[in-house]
């Protein structure tokens, strides 16, 4: 085992004999001799000594004084065996108090000396192993320190902290949390002001350099901690003993300087936001999430600055601006132009600072719900709107700008109007078919527009409009045509009298039947029968 043993004894013969004995038995051991306390002290100061035999009574500096100064040397951890020619209880007591490895009385036999050295070397090895394990632990902790710091901050902003325990962890990791005021800021990488956007790996390198740059400026007016929360997001936790009245302005000024430096030196575009100052450690989470929302506000509502406070954005609402009854009415009549105009009118002014993003998201959600309720009222399956292949639907909170909200809602308007038009056509077609079927079954009866409307459950005018819009003809004309077709069949294939046929197909009198038949067919009923080989039925046949 490689180790260094110091033998400090003023008796040269005894000292050298002991050194030679140990060196012969343990050649890998470095043995150094010292003739007095001062000489031994110089050795302890100049090199690393692992263990030593120390005589109590030496000139210039005795063993007890030297023991008191070992802790100030490079060999502060050396294991000490006191050797003395005197059985002095006082010395023994002092040795025990100073945690001496052993206390031996001269003369020491070779066996005793070698056994003691063996025990010393075993203890040195154990100490080395323990020291190496501890140093490895420190290296491991140091390597994990950034992640441990980040995890602690994540726990803090997630509300998963436990008072004093978290403070102790913060102390261990060098995070200063014992302060009466806290405030959070976040900085997010964005496209640079000029030049091509860097790729992902390049951005990561720049973000790491940014974090180091920010840390180097942390000793300014207000101390703060820096955490890289995401690959493109850095959080700053400010803590102050006495919160200055201009803390927001000072922090924004600092962020502006950092952003300007990042753009100039790192070619990295950044935007930043800060939350409100808090007086409780539990409030750090609120301040952090306010800072995150501030970035969202900036993206959604626009603005020319690079650093924002949450107080820069108002808390107004645009939900009350929308006339939902008018929305539903315009949707039911499928007036796309008026619907888009109503949407634009509601969003007018929302790009300013008087409307919070939350209110825009609520407005977007309410608009969607109103549209879906109308579609549901008409029994229209609107699940097609959510199909992945449409690539148009977006959850309101996923939208980033007022323009994206408008685009999403205009797409919804188009979907709803198209669905209603399709449903309208299908429903009208079914209604017309029902009218036709009823006429085909009851043409011989006295039916007209009014009786059909009552039978179908619609107003006479509405039913007439629907029928004409689908068929291009009126209900009265359709009834007439069905009756004439049936009359033509009876004239050509039966011997019924014309007057009887007129009554059978629903005409009120024979003269009117003849007039209508001649007008629409071009010939009289009798002439039509002769043309198609039919004969009038004679009485008694």
pLDDT value for 394: 53
- Could you give the CA distance from residue 271 to residue 257 in angstroms, rounded to a whole number? 12
392 and 462 co-located in one domain: no
- Could you give the CA distance from residue 203 to residue 211 in angstroms, rounded to a whole number? 12
182 and 302 co-located in one domain: yes
104 and 195 co-located in one domain: no
Domain that holds residue 473: 443-531
Tokens of 446: 């006295």
454 and 517 co-located in one domain: yes
Query: Contact, 341 vs 410, CB < 8 A?
Result: no
**Inside any domain, residue 92:** yes
Domain end marker among 294, 312, 330: 312
Digitized pLDDT (tens) for each residue of the chain, 541 residues in all: 789 999 999 889 889 999 999 999 999 999 999 999 999 999 999 999 999 999 888 888 888 888 888 888 998 889 999 887 766 555 655 655 566 888 888 888 999 999 999 999 999 999 889 888 888 887 887 788 888 888 888 888 887 766 777 888 888 888 888 888 888 889 888 755 455 555 667 777 888 888 888 877 655 566 888 888 888 888 989 888 776 677 778 888 888 888 888 888 888 888 888 888 888 888 888 888 888 877 765 555 555 556 566 555 544 455 556 677 788 888 888 888 888 888 888 777 554 445 566 667 777 777 887 888 888 777 787 777 766 555 445 555 566 677 778 888 888 898 888 888 887 777 788 888 888 999 999 999 989 888 888 888 878 887 888 888 888 889 999 999 999 999 999 999 888 999 999 999 999 888 999 999 999 999 999 999 988 876 555 544 3
374 and 332 co-located in one domain: yes
Q: What is the CATH number of the domain that holds 39?
A: 3.40.50.2300
Q: What is the CATH number of the domain that holds 219?
A: 3.30.70.270
Domain end marker among 312, 331, 347: 312
From the CB of residue 203, how many other CB atoms can be counted at a distance below 10 Å?
Answer: 18
187 and 300 co-located in one domain: yes
**Inside any domain, residue 513:** yes
301 and 325 co-located in one domain: no
Q: What is the CATH number of the domain that holds 501?
A: 1.10.10.60
277 and 368 co-located in one domain: no
**Inside any domain, residue 244:** yes
pLDDT value for 484: 93
pLDDT value for 315: 47
pLDDT value for 117: 93
Domain end marker among 421, 452, 483: 421
**Inside any domain, residue 137:** no
Contacts of 267 (CB under 8 A, 6+ apart): 192, 195, 198, 206
58 and 102 co-located in one domain: yes
**Inside any domain, residue 537:** no
CA dihedral defined by 62, 67, 68, 73, rounded to 10 degrees? 110
pLDDT value for 457: 80
401 and 472 co-located in one domain: no
Whole-prediction pTM value?
Answer: 0.44
What's the total number of domains in the chain? Answer: 4
120 and 184 co-located in one domain: no
293 and 323 co-located in one domain: no
Q: Is 143 helix (H, G, I), strand (E, B) or coil?
A: helix
**Inside any domain, residue 141:** no
**Inside any domain, residue 541:** no
């Amino acid at each position: 085992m490689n180790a260094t043993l110091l033998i400090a004894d003023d008796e040269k013969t005894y000292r050298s004999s002991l050194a030679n004995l140990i060196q012969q038995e343990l050649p890998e051991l470095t043995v150094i001799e010292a003739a007095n306390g001062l000489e031994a002290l110089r050795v302890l100061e100049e090199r690393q000594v692992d263990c030593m035999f120390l005589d109590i009574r030496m000139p210039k500096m005795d063993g007890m004084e030297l023991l008191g100064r070992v802790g100030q040397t490079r060999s502060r951890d050396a294991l000490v065996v006191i050797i003395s020619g005197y059985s002095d209880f006082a010395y023994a007591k002092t040795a025990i108090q100073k945690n001496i490895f052993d206390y031996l009385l001269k003369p020491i036999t070779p066996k005793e000396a070698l056994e003691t050295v063996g025990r010393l070397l075993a203890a040195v090895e154990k100490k080395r192993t323990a020291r190496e394990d501890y140093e490895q632990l420190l290296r491991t902790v140091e390597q994990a320190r950034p992640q441990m710091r980040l995890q602690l901050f994540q726990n803090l902003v997630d509300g998963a902290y436990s008072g004093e325990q978290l403070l102790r962890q913060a102390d261990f990791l060098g995070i200063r949390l014992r302060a009466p005021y806290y405030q959070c800021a976040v900085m997010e990488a964005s496209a640079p002001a000029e030049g091509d956007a860097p790729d992902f790996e390049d951005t990561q390198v720049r973000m790491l350099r940014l974090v180091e740059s920010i840390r180097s400026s942390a000793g300014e007016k207000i101390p703060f901690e820096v955490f890289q929360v995401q690959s493109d997001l850095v959080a700053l936790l400010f803590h102050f003993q006495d919160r200055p009245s201009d803390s927001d302005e000072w922090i924004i000024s600092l962020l502006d300087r950092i952003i300007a430096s990042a753009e100039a030196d790192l070619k990295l575009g950044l935007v930043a936001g800060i939350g409100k100052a808090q007086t409780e450690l539990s409030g750090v989470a609120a301040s952090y999430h306010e800072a995150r929302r501030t970035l969202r506000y900036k993206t959604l509502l626009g603005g020319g600055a690079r650093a924002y406070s949450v107080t820069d954005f108002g808390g107004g609402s645009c939900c009350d601006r929308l006339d939902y009854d008018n929305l539903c009415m315009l949707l039911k009549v499928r007036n796309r132009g008026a619907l888009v105009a109503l949407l634009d009118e509601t969003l007018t002014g929302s790009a300013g600072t008087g409307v919070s993003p939350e209110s825009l998201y609520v407005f977007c959600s309410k608009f969607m719900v109103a549209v879906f309720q109308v579609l549901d009222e008409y029994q229209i399956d609107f699940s097609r709107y959510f199909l992945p292949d449409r690539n148009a639907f977006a959850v309101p909170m996923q939208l980033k700008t007022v323009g994206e909200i408008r685009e999403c809602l205009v797409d919804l308007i188009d979907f709803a109007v198209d669905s209603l038009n399709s449903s309208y056509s299908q429903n009208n077609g079914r209604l017309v078919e029902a009218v036709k079927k009823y006429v085909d079954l009851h043409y011989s009866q006295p039916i007209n527009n009014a009786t059909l409307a009552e039978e179908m459950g619609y107003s006479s005018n509405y039913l007439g409009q629907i029928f004409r819009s689908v068929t291009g003809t009126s209900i009265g004309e359709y009834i007439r045509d069905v009756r004439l077709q049936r009359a033509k069949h009876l004239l050509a294939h039966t011997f019924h009298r014309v007057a009887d046929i007129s009554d059978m197909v629903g005409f009120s009198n024979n003269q009117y039947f003849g007039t209508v038949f001649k007008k629409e067919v071009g010939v009289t009923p009798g002439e039509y029968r002769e043309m198609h080989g039919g004969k009038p039925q004679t009485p008694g046949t």
